[in-house]
Structure 1
Amino acid sequence: MEHLPVDVRASLRLFAFYLANGTIDVELLDGIDYRSTVFHSGSSLEQVFAIYGNVLRVDAEGTVLNDGDAQYRVAQWIRACCDPSYRVEPPFEAWETELHL
């Protein structure tokens, strides 16, 4: 594969837009302006994109299968960073938060 499929590129673009706009999963993050937390350091932003990329599933034709699930897992991570009383359910598995080199 020479380039990411169009569907994957579109999902990444929209994810970045929602993230920067403060509108990732508006129900879970209602009333939480997470942008200062996420954009405060490169490592937080790096973790957000790692979770999104690790959870995102694509079929053999390059069609994204679970963009909403990937965004929701990111929203859970962000919520846990902003609200120490929030518990991620189900807890993150190691593969979801792994940073690839």
Structure 2
Amino acid sequence: MQKLSHSFSGVLRTFSFWIANGTVGLPLLQGIDYSRIYEEPSALERAYAIFANVIEMDDKGTVLNAKYAERRAAQYIRSYVDSSYHVEPKFEDWEIALY
């Protein structure tokens, strides 16, 4: 049975910690109160989906782009709480898909 790599498990744990304590996506979310995202479970679900969909790993399961995946999730969070913010580059369908 295949399991998640320690690398991915650690990156996911860290991302979750940062989401929970209000420090995810710095500097993009610096000073932005995104606690509203906890009031809409599907919005938080989408942020996690983006993070997971963007993550890339090598053949050994080592995460190669954790900061980029975090940034893409942070861009979604920012657009969710700030309607004047425009995500660049725009999200592709595969990035926001819910599996």
* TM-score tier after normalising by the smaller chain length: over 0.9
C-alpha distance in 1 between matches for 2:83 and 2:43? 16
Please, what TM-score do these two structures have when normalized by structure 1?
A: 0.94
Residue 72 in structure 1 maps to residue 78 in structure 2: no
Give the drift of 1:99. Answer: 0.2
C-alpha distance in 1 between matches for 2:13 and 2:58? 19
Deviation string, structure 1 residues 36-94 (Cα, Å, up to 9, x no partner): x2211211111011000000001100000000000000110011111111110000000
C-alpha distance in 1 between matches for 2:83 and 2:46? 17
C-alpha distance in 2 between matches for 1:75 and 1:60? 27
Q: What RMSD over aligned residues (CA atoms) do the two structures have, in Å?
A: 0.9
The percentage of aligned residue pairs carrying the same residue is: 46
Q: Counterparts of 1:24-63 in structure 2 under 5 Å?
A: 24-35=24-35, 37-63=36-62
**Please, which runs of 5 or more residues in structure 1 have no aligned partner?**
none
The one-letter code of the counterpart of 1:80 is: S
The number of equivalent residue pairs is 99
**Please, which runs of 5 or more residues in structure 2 have no aligned partner?**
none
C-alpha distance in 1 between matches for 2:63 and 2:26? 21
Question: What is residue 93 of structure 1 aligned with on the other side?
Answer: 92
The one-letter code of the counterpart of 1:6 is: H
> Which 4+ stretches in 1 moved above 4 angstroms?
none
Query: Does structure 1 retain, via aligned residues, the 8 Å contact 2:37–2:81?
Result: no
